Amino acid sequence: MPPPDTLLHPYSSAIPLQPDSVFSSRFLDSVLQAIHPLSDPGTQGIRRSMLDQPRFIMAEWQMFGVVAIIIFLLFFMALIWPKLMARYTNKKIRHIVQEDLGHYHSQYDDWLCRFNPYYASLSPELKERFLHRTITFLHTKEFRFHSLSYEPYIPLLISGAAVQITFGLKNYLLDFFPVIHVIRKEYVLHMDKETYYGHVSPSGIYIAWNHFLDGYADYADAINVGLHEMAHAVSFDVFLGQCDHHDHAFRSRLEEFSEEGRPVFRAMRSGMSHLLDDYGATNFDEFWAVCVETFFEAPDTFKSQMPDLYLSIAELLNQDPLHAGHILDPELAGLA
Ligand SMILES: [Zn+2]
C-alpha cells in the first residue's frame, strides 16, 4: 500500500503528490484526459468495459458478406475468367480461320504444296487438317518482320513448320511463344557475337528467312532451320507453356528419347563421325533439334543406322514420315 500522502494515478506510475497540491493533481488529470479520453477516473470502469469489447467498422454479418464477396471475386478471376476469355478467344479465332480458309484455301494449298514437301506428301484428308492447323497457328501469333517486308506466304510457311512437328499431337499452338520474329537473313547476337540462322528465347522464336527457304528447298540434306527452331520451341513449350499443355505422356516420352539419345550424343561429343550434323554435339538441346531435322529429311538413313533412336522420336512425335498415313496413334493425335 502506498503511504497516505502519496496519490497513485491509475495510468501513471507512482507519482508522489503532496496533499496540498490540489492544482497539480487536477492539472495531471486534465493532461491524462487529453492524452486518453478514457482516463477520467469517474467513468473509467464503464469505458474500460467498452474498450474490452472488439470494435468493428460494420456488423459481423456485413463483414462476413464482404469477405465472401472478396473470396468469390478471387476465385472468379483466377479460375473462371481465364476460361471464359480463352473460350471467347477460341471462338473468335475459329471464326477468323473459317473466313480465311473460305477466301484463300486454294492459294494456301498451292504455296504449301510448292514449298513444303511434307505437306505435299499428305493425303487430301490430312492436308485439310494440316491447313486448318496452320491457319489457326498463324492467327494465334504475332509475326514481326525485321529488314523484310510482309508477304502472306511467310507466316504461312513458318506456321507450317511448327504444325509439321506437332502434327501427331493434340496440342500444337506452342502458347509459350506469342511472337515470331522473321529476319531477312542471318544475324549476329550482341550476347556472344555469334552469327545465327535462328534461335529461340523467352522473347520469341527467331528465324532467318533466307535460311528457312534454303531448308525446305533442299529437303534431303537434313538441314532445315525451320524444323530446327520449332523443335527447340516444342521442348520449351512442354516445360514452360501455361495454357497449351501437351499430353502428359509427352514429357515421359521426351525423357525416353533422352535415354535413347544420350549414348549417341556422348559418341558425337567424343568426336565420332555420325549421320547427324556435328552441330548436334554442341549440347543436348541442339542434339534434339538436329535429330528432328534428320528425322524428317533423311528418315530412311536415320532408321537404318539408328533404328531405336528413330523409333523413340517417331513415338515421341506420334508420327513417322515413312509411314503412309504419317500419324501412328489417331487418338493421341486428337483424330479419334
Ligand atoms: Zn539450335
pLDDT, tens only, 25-69: 555 555 555 555 544 555 555 555 555 666 677 788 888 899 999
Per the model's pLDDT, the better-predicted residue between 246 and 181 turns out to be 181
All residues at 6 or more sequence positions from 322 whose CB lies less than 8 Å from its CB, including other chains? 299, 300, 303
Centroid of ligand 1 to alpha carbon of 228 (angstroms): 6
CA atoms of 140 and 134, how far apart (whole Å): 10
Q: Are 318 and 269 in contact (CB under 8 A)?
A: no
Centroid of ligand 1 to alpha carbon of 149 (angstroms): 25
Centroid of ligand 1 to alpha carbon of 217 (angstroms): 20
Q: How confident is the model at residue 4 (pLDDT cuts 50, 70, 90)?
A: very low
Centroid of ligand 1 to alpha carbon of 215 (angstroms): 14
Reduced to 3 states (helix: H, G, I; strand: E, B; else coil), residue 224 is coil
Centroid of ligand 1 to alpha carbon of 238 (angstroms): 16
Centroid of ligand 1 to alpha carbon of 298 (angstroms): 18
All residues at 6 or more sequence positions from 4 whose CB lies less than 8 Å from its CB, including other chains? none
Centroid of ligand 1 to alpha carbon of 117 (angstroms): 22
Per the model's pLDDT, the better-predicted residue between 335 and 15 turns out to be 335
Centroid of ligand 1 to alpha carbon of 286 (angstroms): 5
Kind of pairing between the strands at 198-201 and 204-208: antiparallel
Centroid of ligand 1 to alpha carbon of 71 (angstroms): 46
| Percentage of the chain exceeding pLDDT 70 | 80
CA atoms of 269 and 91, how far apart (whole Å): 48
Centroid of ligand 1 to alpha carbon of 249 (angstroms): 24
All residues at 6 or more sequence positions from 282 whose CB lies less than 8 Å from its CB, including other chains? none
Phi, psi of 271 (to 5 degrees): 100, 5
Which range among 10-24, 53-67, 108-122 has the greatest average pLDDT?
Answer: 108-122
Centroid of ligand 1 to alpha carbon of 196 (angstroms): 9
Using the predicted structure, report yes or no on whether residue 19 has a pLDDT greater than 80: no
CA atoms within 13 A on the CB side of 303: 11
All residues at 6 or more sequence positions from 45 whose CB lies less than 8 Å from its CB, including other chains? none
Using the predicted structure, report yes or no on whether residue 8 has a pLDDT greater than 50: no
Going by C-alpha positions, the residue among 147, 135, 153 that lies closest to residue 185 is 147
Reduced to 3 states (helix: H, G, I; strand: E, B; else coil), residue 169 is coil
**What is the set of domains in the chain, with CATH numbers?**
1-49 (no CATH), 73-317 (3.40.390)
Phi, psi of 199 (to 5 degrees): -165, 170
Q: Give the per-residue pLDDT at 45.
A: 53
Q: How confident is the model at residue 14 (pLDDT cuts 50, 70, 90)?
A: very low
Asked which of 202-211, 225-234, 293-302, 325-334 is least confident by mean pLDDT, the reply is 325-334
Give the pLDDT confidence of 302-325 residue by residue, as tens digits. 999 999 999 999 999 999 999 988
Average pLDDT over residues 238-253: 68
Task: Tell me if the pTM is above 0.85.
Answer: no
Going by C-alpha positions, the residue among 226, 252, 239, 249 that lies closest to residue 165 is 226
- Give residues whose Cβ lies within 5 Å of ion ligand 1: 286, 289
Centroid of ligand 1 to alpha carbon of 194 (angstroms): 13
| Percentage of the chain exceeding pLDDT 90 | 57
Give the pLDDT confidence of 66-106 residue by residue, as tens digits. 999 999 999 888 888 888 887 888 888 888 999 999 999 99
Average pLDDT over residues 199-219: 96
| Average model confidence (pLDDT) across the chain | 84
